[in-house]
A and B are shown apart, each in its own frame.
Chain A
Amino acid sequence: MAAALTDPEQIPLEELDAAYAAIMNEIVATGVAPHYAELAHTLGVEPMRAKSVITRIIDLTPGWLHPGTDYIASFPPFNNQPTQYRVSVDGEQRWFAQCGFEALACRWLFPGRTVTVDAPCLLGGDPLRIVMRDEEITSIDPPTMVGYTRSMVGGDAASRPFR
C-alpha cells in the first residue's frame, strides 16, 4: 500500500489520471462504477486514499456522489444509478447514460461497436431509439427527435442534467 490519506486538492494529476481511467474502464467493462474500497485494490492504495481520489475526480468532472454517501452516482457519460437512458453495446443492455446528451457521447468509449440508446419521451412516454457506431449515427427513431435542456451544459453543481 502506497500513499496515505491526503487533502484531495493535493493529489497529483498522474494519480487522478490513473484513477479516472480505472473507474472508466470498470464501467465500460461491467456497467457499474467501483466502490472506493474496490478502486483502492486496483490502484494499490489505502481505501481512504482511494476515497479522496474519487472525491477530487468528482470535483473536477460533471459527475456526482449520491448525496450523503460515498457511492458514485454519476460518472459521465455513464450513470451508476439507473436513468431512463438505457445504453446497449452490440445488443447487450448493461449501461445507463447520465442524460440524453451524454448518451450520445457513450459511443466514444466503445470504438468500433454498435451503441444503441433507448429512452422514453418525457412527454407521453413514446419510445425513442438512437443507433450509433463511432462517427456514424445510423438510426434516429423517430426522425423528428430533438434534444432540449433548461440547464446550462457544464454549469454549476445545482444545475443537474435531468433538467
Chain B
Amino acid sequence: MNLFRSEEHALNWEEYDPRMAHLLRPVEWWAHTFASPMFRARARSDFISWASGPEGAAAFGELRERMSPPRPDVRATTAAAAGLSKVDISAVDGASPDDRSVEHSLMRTWPAAVPTETARHWRNTARAMIVAVPADALPGADPQLWTDTRRSAVRDVQAATGWLARADVGAGDVRLTHRLAQMGWGGEVADQPGWTAMEQSARAILKCRSLAELT
C-alpha cells in the first residue's frame, strides 16, 4: 500500500504483481477511497461499536467492493447461476413457490459463516435467477401466476436488500450486486442482519427456480 512517483515507477517496482493491477490507481482515487465512512468514523467516540454494527459492515462492504477486481460479465441463465453458485440448487427441484421446507433443507447445507466469496456467488445467482424469469410469460404458463410470482420474488429481493428492485433488472445492473456484497461481509451467525437478508434473497431465488420448474 505504497505511493509511487508515476505509474511507470509502480510497474517497475520489484514487488509489483500484475494480478493486482486493478489497484494501481492515481493518488486522487485512493484519496477518495480513504475518505469513506470507515475512515472518517475513527474520530467517533463509539468507533468500535459503530464498526461492529451494520453501518460499519456496510461501509467495509462498500470499500471492498470498490477495490474488488473487475468481474467478467455473467450470462443471465439458470445454468450460469448454477455454475456460479456453490449451493446445490438441484435440491429445490420440484419445489412449489411456498415450500419453506425446501428452503430450510437448503439452508442447512450452507456454512454458518458467509464469507465474501460466498456472498459473491449468491448475488450472481440471485441476479441470474431473476433475469432468468422474463417479464413476459412463456407459452403455456399461467400469465397471472407468472406475473405474481415474479413480482413476489422481486419484492423479496427488495425487502432483503433495501434496493429498489425492478422487474426488468438486467444482468449488467450492479446495484443488487453491490448491496448483497455489503451484506455478505462479516455475516457470521444466523442472527446477523446480513444472514436474514441472504435467507430472504434465497427465498426469492427459490421462487424463481420453482416458477421455472412449473413452466
Contact = CB atoms under 8 A, between A and B. Distances in A.
| A and B found bound together | yes
A3 interface: no
Q: Which of B1, B7, B40, B51 has the most CB of A within 10 A?
A: B1
A4 interface: no
A104 B1 CA distance: 11
B151 to A, nearest CB: 37
Contact of B1 (A18, A20, A130, A149): A149
Contacts of B30: 100-101, 104, 147
Nearest to A57: B48
B31 A16 contact: no
A14 B1 contact: no
B1 A121 contact: no
Interface in B81-135: none
A28 to B, nearest CB: 9
A108 B8 CA distance: 30
A59 B91 CA distance: 39
B3 interface: yes
Given A13-B48, A108-B39, A123 B31 contact: no
Interface stretch (B12-20, B154-162, B167-175, B202-210): B12-20
Closest 8 CB pairs of A and B: A99-B1, A100-B3, A105-B39, A147-B30, A144-B6, A121-B5, A161-B1, A150-B17
Given A147-B23, A154-B64, 16 more contacts: A20-B47, A24-B42, A99-B1, A105-B42, A109-B42, A111-B43, A121-B3, A121-B9, A122-B4, A132-B31, A147-B27, A148-B10, A148-B13, A149-B1, A154-B60, A162-B2
